[in-house]
Copies of this chain bind each other. A is one copy, B any other.
Amino acid sequence: MTMQTTIVYAHPYEGSLNHAILERLVATLEAKGHPVTVLDLYADQFNPVLSAADLAVYGEGKTTDSQVERYVQILDQTEQIIFIYPIWWYDMPAIMRGFLDKVLLPKSAFETENQRLLASRQVRKTYIFTTSAASTEDLEQVFGDPIRGTTMAGTFKDVGFLNPIWYNLGGIGHISQEEIDVYLATLSSRV
């Protein structure tokens, strides 16, 4: 079964390991027949700042940013979503954070009922691929496990990004090229 797949990608450098992960995943997904759309936040020069004008229309589920409108329309068609980003200060970069702030709007992403959020969309499969200087164990045990605790159990649940799985490659400052190659080679079996 093929699924309309959206990749939300955030890394400023084309020579990065994150970019290698992106390329490997796109090739794998296309080989499996999934139609893939990449939202490359840096290449799109996405502005992650939710402005006063955005805030004024937020409750109506609207935005002043045409890039956000485009992303919302793509999410409306998405059956499988994949996030790729580097972990900076134990969580996502600002440009990815702003994707949550601005693109996950009332009405299209969620409704509020009795002070609880109900997801408007049902995206069937969700993946997060990250790299970090810290070890994966430290992210989980020392630094609050924000990806599982906040992103996955909080935001993703609220907006219907279902069945999330997180794959992190930790300790990237001191692992060998061979370890990186092994990690990249495993990607085709992940999605």
From residue A108, how far is it (CB to closest CB) to chain B in Å? 15
Residues of B within 8 A of A93 (CB): 50, 97-98, 101
A46 nearest in chain B by CB position: B49
Contact assessment for A91 and B146 in the assembled complex, using a CB-CB cutoff below 8 Å = yes
Contact of A146 among B12, B51, B150, B174 (CB under 8 A): B150
CA distance A9 to B145 in the complex (A): 26
From residue A20, how far is it (CB to closest CB) to chain B in Å? 16
CA distance A144 to B147 in the complex (A): 9
| Chain A interfacial positions (CB closer than 8 Å to B) | 12-13, 42, 47-52, 54-56, 88-95, 97-98, 100-102, 104, 115, 133, 142-146, 148-150, 153-155, 171, 173-174
Residues of B within 8 A of A55 (CB): 12-13
CA distance A89 to B89 in the complex (A): 17
CA distance A50 to B165 in the complex (A): 27
Contact of A95 among B49, B52, B56, B89 (CB under 8 A): B49
Residues of B within 8 A of A143 (CB): 149-150, 153-154
Residues of B within 8 A of A94 (CB): 48-50, 94-95, 97-98, 101-102
From residue A81, how far is it (CB to closest CB) to chain B in Å? 16
CA distance A173 to B106 in the complex (A): 14
From residue A19, how far is it (CB to closest CB) to chain B in Å? 11
- Given A89-B155, A90-B150, 14 more pairs with CB closer than 8 A: A42-B49, A48-B48, A48-B49, A50-B94, A88-B101, A89-B101, A91-B150, A92-B97, A93-B101, A94-B98, A94-B102, A144-B144, A144-B153, A146-B146
CA distance A150 to B115 in the complex (A): 25
CA distance A50 to B11 in the complex (A): 9
Residues of B within 8 A of A101 (CB): 88-89, 93-94
